Structure 1
């Protein structure tokens, strides 16, 4: 997971039968069987139909297979209020994996999430955060206004079907019957480093072929593995 990989899977190259979390544009990002956000993460970015994370004062990251929005809400776990709404002026897609960078029209004052040098070993405790329905079947409920979070962990790549191991993270819920779902694309996967949250992943797709969510692990793009590319595109990440 911690190696730079030159030939990952583009969204269009995801194996047939693998479910991406943006298959339904009318379902907002979601975390199934999570809990309301326990803190107001300043780097949360609400993207219509998806979600994202602030990585620099004027840049956010989301999933490549998401559409490019005209604006996003930054700095609030409430998708309809708080934070700052800012225009998006440009999108940059990674050439081989499911990552899109969004350049904002102006800088915001919220602290971005740092991207560390490595994502972590199997067994590392992580957390995923997002908005949307909190039940597993597609279209089973409406999206909550406040983002939900779920404590998760990194598991062996063998647990996820079709994973690009050096470039993606296989992520499992800690208690069973919970996880990411349709529309959760681009959402942050974070872990604690020296007491602070660090961004290691962006939601990509399901790790199994079951169309009902939370029945298996999820696949996240390993952001530390492309940190050099991100750093170049945004003109230098925060130190």
Structure 2
């Protein structure tokens, strides 16, 4: 099955066009799910976490890699603004208009902000080997079906792992990562562009940017841009190593 992009625009459009929700249509309400799909509310404020926004609404995630630069998925396009360094996509942190977008390669792009952010950027790791423990962060849907709900206001996280490329169909092994949350847990619509990180509090490093998954979320591993594969190119664009990898 071909993987689908995991941005928030598609499910929002479905809800708007139908003019109803599952509950309004008379169906039995689904039991509440714990977040991302299968995650938990964020346990810290990630200074580098960005919400890409159009008309004040969350659409995709991103990562601040330099004061004026956010890395995200190319398919997320160029948003009006980003909100950086907050647990809630609709309040707190800093809001910065987006000046321009530069495609890096594959499904990866950089957004140039009109004004630098004062939030702490995340360094880009030098490698992302299979077996490495990772953490997904995002405001994606917390239910797996397309259009089943709006993005949560509070940031969510899910501990995951990089697995062998052979577990992901149609993956570009040289520039993409296969990441799995296991047991029906994973990225969903609205998580596109958001980070997969390694390390721990105070020492997070960026390894991936969410790209695509199955139409029904978390039925298997998701595919991420391997940000480490583009590290040198990104650093050249943003002008050095403002947050050098440890």
How high is the TM-score relative to the length of structure 2? 0.83
Residues 10, 147 of structure 2: 8 Å contact kept:
no
The answer to whether structure 1 residue 141 and structure 2 residue 179 are counterparts is no
Report the 3-state secondary structure (helix = DSSP H, G, I; strand = E; otherwise coil) of the residue aligned with 1:31.
helix
CA distance in 2, matches of 1:39, 1:117: 24
Distance (whole Å) between structure 1 residues aligned to residue 12 and residue 235 of structure 2? 32
Is 1:36 the equivalent of 2:41? yes
Equivalent residue number for residue 99 of structure 2: 89
1:221 aligns with 2:230: no
**Could you tell me which residue of structure 2 aligns to residue 177 of structure 1?**
184
- Residues 26, 215 of structure 1: CA spacing in aligned structure 2 closer, same or farther, 3 A cutoff? closer
1:37 Cα deviation (Å)? 0.5
2:89 maps to 1:79: yes
Which residue matches 2:236?
232
Mapped partners of 1:17, 1:63: distance in 2: 18
Q: Which runs of 5+ in 1 are unaligned?
A: 1-15
Pick from 110, 116, 119: which aligns with 1:107? 116
Matched, 1:70 2:80: yes
Question: Quick check: 2:199–2:205 contact (8 Å CA) kept in 1?
Answer: yes
Stretches of structure 2 that go unaligned for 5 or more consecutive residues are 14-34, 54-58
Shift of 1:166: 1.3
Larger radius of gyration: 2
Give the structure with the larger helix fraction: 2
Helix, strand or coil for the counterpart of 2:235? Answer: helix
Offset at residue 227 of structure 1 (A): 0.6
Displacement after TM superposition at 1:237 (Å) = 2.7
Contact 1:179 1:217 in 2 (8 A): yes
Q: Does 1:50 align with 2:60?
A: yes
Q: 1: distance between equivalents of 2:47 and 2:82?
A: 14
Could you tell me how far apart the structure 1 residues matched to 2:189 and 2:233 are? 27
Give the one of 188, 191, 204 matched to 2:198: 191
Cα RMSD after superposing both structures: 1.9
Kept in 1: contact 2:11–2:149 (CA 8 A)? no
1:205 equivalenced with 2:190 (yes/no): no
SS at match of 2:158: strand
Task: State how far apart, in whole Å, the 1-side matches of 2:205 and 2:226 are.
Answer: 12
Alpha carbons 1:27, 1:183 under 8 Å: kept: no
Structure 2 vs 1, CA of residues 80 and 36 (structure 1 numbering), >3 Å: closer, same or farther?
Answer: same
- Distance change (3 Å), C-alpha of 1:24 and 1:104: closer
Once residues 193 and 222 of structure 1 are traced to their aligned partners in structure 2, the CA distance between those partners, rounded to angstroms, is 19
Which portions of structure 1, spanning 4 or more consecutive aligned residues, are displaced by more than 2 angstroms? 22-28
**TM-score of the superposed pair, with normalisation by structure 1:** 0.86
Q: Distance in 1 between matches of 2:92 and 2:9?
A: 26
Aligned to 1:4: none
